[in-house]
């Protein structure tokens, strides 16, 4: 369950139901070892991102936003170093497919893809914290109802994504690109959450945001790989192989940036106020 329905029950009740469903599914993934062939880490982090997207949508109406957003963020942070370790080999393999070079294949073979020493402690602690959040989530309340509980958060996050895109375009720094990535991801969650208000209109918006999210996610993976190379170049093999990896990585990063900004200019061309008005009309028209 990840939808608000303009013709359904109250926004507050739906908010709690969505939150509980995401937490329950995350806890089930931990018990069952992931789903649909995805790793436990992937599933756990995905649920946390969706939950934080939900919290950001209702932020102006949710008095406990700061506490609960921090709780979900800090729980997910327990797994971040495991995810970064997991992604290195996958990123090199993707580069080897994009630019077929034997040097890249040799480097990928050197990386074992292991994420940790076999300890379950981070996942166990992550699960414990989710249980604590779930105990509170059943009592979460909002100060507003209806579209008034949803549209200010939508507009604020859209404005933030637009601003972060401009900063990233100016600096091209990995941290700024990552900030844009997060805000864009939340905007995609918001469209998904509100899609029932205008499914025929919003399905295309969601497709474009997802395409942009994929590009920005790839950019982040490339940045993680670049940081790992700088920290421990010997891990990646001979200097000659490493030089090829660095060159291909840079070329790929520049191409991803070009594609991301091309899509971003279209996705974020609309004024934030107009976005709010458009979604308000969607919500009203279905009543």
Lookup result for tokens 């401009």 = 166
Assign 41 a pLDDT band (cuts: 50, 70, 90).
Answer: confident
| 64: DSSP letter | T
**C-alpha distances in Å from residue 138, one per residue of 6, 66, 238, 256:** 21, 17, 55, 41
Q: What whole-number distance in Å separates Cα of residue 23 and Cα of residue 232?
A: 37
CB atoms within 10 A of CB 110: 14
- pLDDT-based confidence at 38, cuts 50/70/90? low
**How many whole angstroms separate alpha carbon 71 and alpha carbon 238?**
43
Nearest one of 209, 208, 206, 203 to 183, comparing CA atoms: 209
Look up residue 202 and give its two tokens.
Answer: 């919003």
pLDDT tens sequence across 200-242 = 999 999 999 999 999 999 999 999 999 999 999 999 999 999 9
Measured in degrees and rounded to the nearest 5, phi and psi for residue 6 equal -60, -25
User: In sequence order, what are the residues at sequence separation of 6 or more whose Cβ sits closer than 8 angstroms to the Cβ of residue 233?
Assistant: 239, 242
Least confident of 5-9, 91-95, 108-112, 144-148: 108-112
DSSP letter assigned to residue 34: -
Q: pTM for this structure?
A: 0.92
Quick one: pLDDT band at residue 102, thresholds 50, 70, 90?
Answer: very high
Rounded to 10°, the helix 239-267/102-110 angle is 100
Specify the pLDDT at position 96. Answer: 94
Cα 25 vs. chain centroid, distance in angstroms? 17
pLDDT at residue 287, rounded to an integer: 41
State residue 36's pLDDT score: 47
How far is 150 from 148, CA to CA, in rounded Å? 6
Q: Quick one: pLDDT at residue 37?
A: 43
Beta carbons within 10 angstroms of residue 100's beta carbon? 9
Q: Give the integer Cα–Cα distance in Å for 179 and 110.
A: 31
Decide if pLDDT at 175 tops 50.
Answer: yes
Q: What angle do CA 232, 234, 239 make, to 5 degrees?
A: 125
Task: Report pLDDT for 111.
Answer: 86
């Amino acid at each position: 369950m990840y939808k608000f329905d303009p013709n359904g029950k109250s926004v507050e009740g739906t908010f709690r139901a969505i939150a509980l469903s995401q937490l329950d599914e995350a806890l089930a993934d931990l018990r069952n070892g992931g789903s649909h062939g995805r790793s436990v880490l992937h599933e756990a982090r995905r649920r946390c991102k969706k939950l934080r997207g939900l919290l950001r949508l209702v932020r102006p109406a949710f008095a406990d936003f700061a506490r609960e957003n921090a709780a979900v963020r800090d729980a997910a942070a327990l797994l971040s170093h495991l995810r970064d370790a997991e992604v290195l080999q996958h990123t090199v393999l993707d580069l080897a497919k994009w630019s077929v070079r034997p040097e890249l294949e040799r480097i990928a073979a050197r990386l074992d893809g292991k994420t940790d020493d076999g300890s379950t402690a981070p996942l166990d602690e992550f699960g414990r914290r989710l249980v604590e959040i779930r105990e509170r989530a059943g009592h979460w309340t909002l100060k507003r109802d209806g579209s008034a509980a949803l549209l200010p958060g939508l507009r604020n996050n859209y404005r933030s994504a637009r601003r972060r895109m401009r900063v990233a375009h100016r600096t091209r720094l990995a941290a700024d690109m990552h900030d844009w990535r997060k805000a864009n991801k939340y905007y995609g969650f918001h469209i998904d959450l509100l899609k029932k208000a205008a499914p025929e209109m919003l399905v295309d918006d969601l497709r474009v945001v997802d395409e942009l999210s994929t590009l920005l996610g790839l950019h982040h993976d490339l940045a993680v790989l670049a940081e790992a190379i700088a920290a421990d170049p010997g891990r990646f093999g001979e200097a000659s192989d490493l030089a090829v990896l660095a060159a291909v990585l840079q070329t790929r990063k520049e191409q991803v940036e070009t594609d991301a900004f091309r899509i971003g200019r279209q996705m974020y061309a609309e004024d934030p106020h107009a976005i709010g008005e458009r979604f308000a009309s969607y919500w009203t028209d279905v009543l």
